[in-house]
Structure 1
Amino acid sequence: MEMKMVVEKADQTAYEGDGGGYYVWSNSKVPLLSQSKLGTGKLLLHPLGFALPHYADSSKIGFVLQGTCTVGLVSPNSPEEKVLLIKKGDVIPLPAGVVSWWFNGGDTDVVIIFLGETTKALVPGQFTYFFVAGVLGILAGFQSDFVGKTFDLDQKQSEVLVNNQQGALLVKLENGTKFPEPSKHIKEKLYETIDGPSGDHIIIKGNAMLAPSYVTNGSVQISYVCKGGGWIKVVASEGKPALDSRVEEGDLFIVPQYLAIAEIADECGMEVFSVITSSNPIFGELAGNNSVWKAFSPVVLRSALNISEEFEEVFESKNTKSIRIVPPST
């Protein structure tokens, strides 16, 4: 199956309102999302914006691009609500089925990018959310009479429970609303709760380069350009270029399994957040003292590249240090 690599910005607005918005990349624009069973979305919360409690059909990782946000997490059948305060640069894992809510108690917008797997999702390439409250919530779907019987409420009480929240997805709360303080000793434990994808945050300074590498265990990599810009080069089998494109803030791209990638920042630098579909990805380096070039015996190196002994010594001298990040030329 041919895999067409593209670089795209979010092209669909899933929701917009006073509280904020949620934006997605469609499978039609980025076919590799459904082909590789990956999903992505971007959450915008205005001040006092509140994302109603919900769970998703996919495990994902959130990366805070802007602002500070209070997050509540409730695991299935747990009486404990874990509350976190996350800020720009923080990463938060979100297992499938865990209920979460999100509140912006600050004075500036909050922006969070979500990347993850959709292997068990209802729709490959797309996160599906199930809200427990609001006009699109589960309670509304069961209707007041059924809810009343469930919670032993009379008709009036049932209608209040089901119908009072007329918002959908994101709402704006009243000024002065106080949310719980962050739970103690919770943040460190979260990183043990997600089984599957892992995150990688790379900052490349101006005119520097992320040296060529590939993920060795067949995992797929989905990446979002958080800041700055540069150039992405991806090489497929038979030495064929799969992607050779400029990227900038807001762009998303996917690297299929085993393809080699290199990233070059422009003079302003580039910041990239990636999610890899493995809990323990191993990167095969293609330059430096951890690369295959350093491991090859001299005769193998000369025979493979058809080079002289003199040039082999020159090349060997260029692979004596770890160079995952290649500094700018002087």
Structure 2
Amino acid sequence: MELDLTPKLAKKVYGGDGGAYYAWCPNELPMLREGNIGASKLVLEKNGFAMPRYSDSAKVAYVLQGSGVAGIVLPEKEEKVLAIKKGDSIALPFGVTTWYYNKEDTELAILFLGDTSKAHKAGSFTDFSLTGPTGIFTGFSTEFVSRAWDLDETTVKALVGSQTANGIVKLAPGFKMPEPKKEHYNGMALNCEEAPLDVDIKGGGKVVLLNTKNLPLVGEVGLGADLVRLNGGAMCSPGMSCDSALQVTYIVRGSGRVQVVGIDGKRVLETTVKAGNLFIVPRFFVVSKISDADGLDWFSIITTPNPIFTHLAGRTSVWKALSPQVLQASFNVPEDVEKKFSSMRKAEEIFFPPPN
């Protein structure tokens, strides 16, 4: 069966004055189902409040735009209230309950990417609201809720039935929400735009990796991630994940060209990507990108917490490790052609600046 790797935009699932929730559908992006990956996006307007919920999937969240507050409750732990802003990445293991609030004029946009291998639907997140018309307690009888909460039935009916909005509401100006605590941020999130760079190539690009070293909680999520910022006109070396991981890529900013090559040397994707696009590279397939003049930034998750990549061009590529005789015989070229090939890209690593 031929894989459709065409990048897609998210579609609105629900929303109102407070904001909206968007998701990528596995029917339109089949690799989500094939790879057991979910992808969604939350956008909150000023005073927008995404009410408490938990999910059937472990996720990594990435703040695309704006700033706000996140509430996170790990199983049997206290609530952590974090100040979040553009560039923050948050690890969300199984069982966490979360809420989000935006008190600023700028929209707060958060991307969620995660593993749906244990979810109800492959390729989709299923969230369980604690309140509202689809909240968990609307399904229990008043008697059960009354006994569980040790409250009279009149109070229970008020608590369960008063919130008529689904998922996202707009709070009144001046409504007092919990204030974030600096100590709650540590160990829960990492700002990928401010973290030490793992790769920094002049004229080429920069990379920050998210793994168990700088955010141990991603080990519980089972995913790694990275933020890549490719300079205008630069190229990202053809490369692959060599530990059978899938790579799920969301274009954060800019635009550029992408090619993916798969089994039997067949080019399975050649397209232009832009901000908002999501695409998935299958296991062991090789991908390369060239940015347009304004550069290209992307955030990716990899379906292992400490991914290993192999590149097929540049100083650290497999070509540089192979002996000259093997290269000459494999390419079936004269010695002078092999020497010319081996002499190039000795300094550059995974990013190549634009040609002069």
TM-score w.r.t. length of structure 1: 0.96
Where 2:187 maps in the other structure, the secondary structure is helix
Aligned length: 328
Counterpart code for 1:72: G
Q: Which residue is 1:59 aligned to?
A: 58
Aligned partners of 2:178 and 2:350: how far apart in 1? 42
Q: Which residue is 1:281 aligned to?
A: 307
Where in structure 1 are there 5+ consecutive unaligned residues?
none
Q: Which residue is 1:87 aligned to?
A: 85
| Per-residue deviation, 1:23 | 0.9
Q: Which residue is 1:261 aligned to?
A: 287
Counterpart code for 2:8: E
Q: Deviations over 1:176-226 (max 9, x none)?
A: 122222223333312322321111111111110111100001111111111
2:169 counterpart of 1:171:
yes
Counterpart code for 1:290: T
Counterpart code for 1:8: K
| Per-residue deviation, 1:113 | 1.3
| Per-residue deviation, 1:237 | 1.7
2:32 counterpart of 1:33:
yes
Aligned partners of 1:116 and 1:322: how far apart in 2? 33
Counterpart code for 1:247: V
Q: Which residue is 2:142 aligned to?
A: 144
Counterpart code for 1:92: I
Aligned partners of 1:243 and 1:128: how far apart in 2? 30
Once structures 1 and 2 are overlaid, which stretch shifts more, 62-71 or 318-327? 318-327
2:248 counterpart of 1:249:
no
2:265 counterpart of 1:239:
yes
| Equivalent pair of 2:83/2:182 in contact (CA under 8 Å) | no
Where in structure 2 are there 5+ consecutive unaligned residues?
189-214
Q: Which residue is 2:232 aligned to?
A: 206
Where 1:142 maps in the other structure, the secondary structure is coil
Q: Which residue is 2:216 aligned to?
A: 192
Aligned partners of 1:206 and 1:182: how far apart in 2? 37
| Equivalent pair of 2:83/2:185 in contact (CA under 8 Å) | no
| Equivalent pair of 1:139/1:147 in contact (CA under 8 Å) | yes
Once structures 1 and 2 are overlaid, which stretch shifts more, 158-167 or 33-42? 158-167
| Per-residue deviation, 1:169 | 0.3
Q: Which residue is 1:124 aligned to?
A: 122
TM-score w.r.t. length of structure 2: 0.89
Where 2:4 maps in the other structure, the secondary structure is coil
Q: Which residue is 1:153 aligned to?
A: 151
What is the percentage of aligned positions where both structures have the same residue? 41
Aligned partners of 1:143 and 1:325: how far apart in 2? 60
Where 1:289 maps in the other structure, the secondary structure is coil
| Per-residue deviation, 1:3 | 2.4
Counterpart code for 2:217: T
| Per-residue deviation, 1:135 | 1.5
Aligned partners of 2:85 and 2:321: how far apart in 1? 42
Aligned partners of 1:150 and 1:98: how far apart in 2? 21
| Per-residue deviation, 1:114 | 1.1
Aligned partners of 1:237 and 1:166: how far apart in 2? 51
| Equivalent pair of 1:60/1:114 in contact (CA under 8 Å) | yes
Q: Which residue is 1:45 aligned to?
A: 44
Once structures 1 and 2 are overlaid, which stretch shifts more, 314-323 or 219-228? 314-323
Aligned partners of 2:103 and 2:6: how far apart in 1? 36
Aligned partners of 2:141 and 2:135: how far apart in 1? 10
| Equivalent pair of 1:143/1:162 in contact (CA under 8 Å) | no
Q: Which residue is 1:321 aligned to?
A: 347
Q: Which residue is 1:294 aligned to?
A: 320
Counterpart code for 2:265: G
Counterpart code for 1:39: G
| Per-residue deviation, 1:322 | 3.9
| Equivalent pair of 1:230/1:247 in contact (CA under 8 Å) | yes
